[in-house]
Amino acid sequence: MKIDFASGIYGAAIAARNGLYERGWLRARRLQGPVVSVGNISAGGSGKTPFVILLGELLRARGIPFDVLSRGYGRKTSGVLEVDPAGLPQEFGDEPLLIARRLRVPVVVGEDRYEAGRFAEERYGPQMHLLDDGFQHRGLARDFDIVLVTPEDARDRLLPAGRLREPMTSLRRADTVVLSGGASAESFDLGGKAVWRVRRGIVAKNVPQRPVVFCGIARPKNFILQLRTAGVDPVAEAFFRDHHSYGKKDIRDLLELRQRSEAGGFVTTEKDAVNLGGFLEALAPLTVVPVTMELADADNAMDTMLRVIEERRRRT
């Protein structure tokens, strides 16, 4: 009952805040370049980071310059910083670091995404900005709002009773809803919203025999399921909290687990590889399994997004 009461209070606070923006009592600040927000309504595990990388690859294929703006969740630093791909997750956050390494474009972190955007524009000009995890960051005006949903979202509850950061009615703010993880449009009241479908997968190559699988991500069971579907049968599993920063004790525990299990090596995710840092070699042989994401009818989706952005920029 206490948790349900807390969820009610949380929901009321979210509704009040959204109402202030919708009535114009709070105003979003606008950057010179167009902003495309990629977000979700639940606490992690929807595939935002792979989708940002996919969207960046689609923009690059069209020759459209862009940067990425992120809060930099989990970093020990503060203020606005440009991500150094050779840096550490403690400096920039694990997901911004992964995005910078994969896309090789400017990634700027900052608690205030508007100030991060201004920093990017001063350094690189008013190009397109991809706003990572931006659906709830309403202080920055966006020209296109993308929200990912998963099957779990349709039957979940608001924090702290569940994982939802906003009620389902918030999907009305989105320009398009991306069905991730096998989500079905019929499970959501989308009210005629545009729907994009993505297919997530993994690339499991050179996997050790009888591996120990470990990860610190929001939905580890989904990763295990993907591995089993790809023919990888773990002999043991170890799960850590999302964004886990690995230390010496973790490495000792994993090595002991490998010995007890008579495992041939380890398998983990790209995000965990970022968080392992200098411990990667200590776990050899270790296979890092990248996540792949494919957008159905990508050309039409991109054409629609770019047309909407152009029309809105003309009106502002």
Give the C-alpha separation, 156 to 152, whole Å: 6
CATH number of 28-199+294-315: 3.40.50.300
End-to-end CA separation in angstroms for the chain: 47
Distance between CA atoms of residues 124 and 60, nearest Å: 16
* pLDDT of 191: 84
Q: Tell me, what's the pLDDT at 186?
A: 92
State residue 44's pLDDT score. Answer: 79
DSSP letters spanning 164-219: BSS-GGGGGG-SEEEE-TT--GGGS--TT-EEEEEEEEE---SPPSSEEEEE-SS-
Q: Determine the pLDDT at residue 1.
A: 58
pTM of the model: 0.94
Judged by DSSP in three states, 288 sits in strand
Give me the average pLDDT of each 10-residue run along the chain (316 residues). Answer: 78 93 94 98 89 98 98 95 97 98 98 98 97 96 97 93 94 96 90 92 92 95 94 96 96 98 97 96 96 95 98 89
Report the alpha-carbon distance of residue 229 to residue 225 in Å, rounded.
Answer: 6
Q: Which CATH number fits domain 204-289: 2.60.40, 3.30.70, 3.20.90, 3.40.50?
A: 3.40.50
Q: What's the CA gap between 95 and 25, in Å, rounded?
A: 33
Identify the pLDDT of residue 27. 94
pLDDT of 234: 97
CB atoms < 10 A from the CB of 32, how many?
11
Two domains, one topology: 28-199+294-315 and 204-289 = yes
* Residue pointed to by tokens 């050779």: 86
| Sequence ranges of the domains in the chain | 28-199+294-315, 204-289
> Taking the C-alpha atoms of 40, 43, 49 and 55 in order, what is their torsion angle to the nearest 10 degrees?
0
Secondary-structure percent of the chain, ordered helix, strand, coil, rounded to 5: 40, 20, 35
Q: What is the pLDDT of residue 145?
A: 98
Residue from 209, 201, 48, 185 nearest 130 by CA: 48
**Per-residue model confidence (pLDDT) at position 305:** 98
Give the pLDDT score at 5: 76
Which stretch of DSSP H or E encloses residue 260?
Answer: helix 248-261
